[in-house]
Amino acid sequence: MFQKRKTVNPAQSVIALHRHEGKNHPRSARDSVAREEPLEIRVRGKGIAITMRTPGDDDELASGFLLSEGLLHKRSDITEIAHCEVTETAAAGNVLNVFVAPGVSIDLEKLTRHVFASSSCGLCGKASIELVHQHFPPVQSDTTVTLKTLLHLPELLRKGQKTFSETGGLHGSAIFDAKGELLVVREDVGRHNAVDKVVGWAFLNKKLPLDQHILMVSGRASFEIMQKALSAGIPIVAAVSAPSSLAVEFATESNQTLIGFLRGKSFNVYSHPERIQKDKTSKSRTPNRRTNRR
């Protein structure tokens, strides 16, 4: 049983502002902005992490986080996820309890984050780079994707980002099958949180492993995003912007295909290009220039 906080529009707020346009006098206006609030995740009553996130789909965020940290392994590990409503902070929907099945052993020493983790850079919350490696086995998948399918993914992701269209302030992540069919899209102020949400969605809906699927992200591809994709068994990760050097190294060693600068009619493939199939009528493409990064 999963209890979600009932809010009309949890992902955004409308605020008053003064708008300046050219030499005209500023005028009063209102605008929608993405909401950012802390979420404390508790397991068996113990607080294990606090992350700044966009409210909404908190059960998926917590599930994806715990999976990628190696604390959960299968759907039956969780019996319930519910917001705590005891204290003032909890009553605001910012404390989430994850109830684990009695027979499940949870080793919190495996947790590689500090108690506080920034939504913008998950790695900043890591004790050390060595503790990040959780030794998920490399992907074993023969999935391939066509050029035509890949080139359509950014547009499909953007169409699914409803709150981004209103605020311009959220990262997006989406899971597609190899034919480009959208399974799920989630948004968050933190790019790692957005990935946790789609991975958590798959976990809670018993769709893991995602070894025949593609992860698409609206920003850059970091090491931690590749790690989270690997925890879900995802063989292909595509990003609108650049990957980091460690992300490329991790993808190579994990048998993951990493695609960057996927925008317009071009993209770069940084690892395992054998999963990219040319369309029958496709022409050679040149690497995209590194401009207009998000």
Are the C-beta atoms of residues 228 and 68 closer than 8 Å to each other? yes
Residue 168, pLDDT score: 67
**Structure token pair of residue 118:** 């920034």
Residue 281, pLDDT score: 56
Which pTM was predicted?
0.83
Residue 60, pLDDT score: 98
Q: How many CB atoms lie within 10 A of CB 31?
A: 14
pLDDT tens across the length of the chain (294 residues): 444 444 456 777 676 877 888 888 888 887 777 788 999 999 988 898 999 999 999 999 999 999 998 899 999 999 999 998 776 665 578 999 999 999 998 887 766 544 444 444 544 433 333 444 456 889 999 999 999 999 999 999 999 877 655 666 689 999 999 999 999 999 999 999 999 999 999 999 999 999 999 999 999 999 899 999 999 999 999 999 999 988 998 899 899 999 999 999 999 999 999 999 987 754 444 455 554 444
**How far separated are the first and last CA of the chain, in Å rounded?**
37
Residue 111, pLDDT score: 67
The residue from 121, 156, 182, 276 that is catalytic is 121
Strand partners, 263: 266
Residue 289, pLDDT score: 52
Are the C-beta atoms of residues 32 and 166 closer than 8 Å to each other? yes
Is 84 part of the annotated catalytic residue set?
no
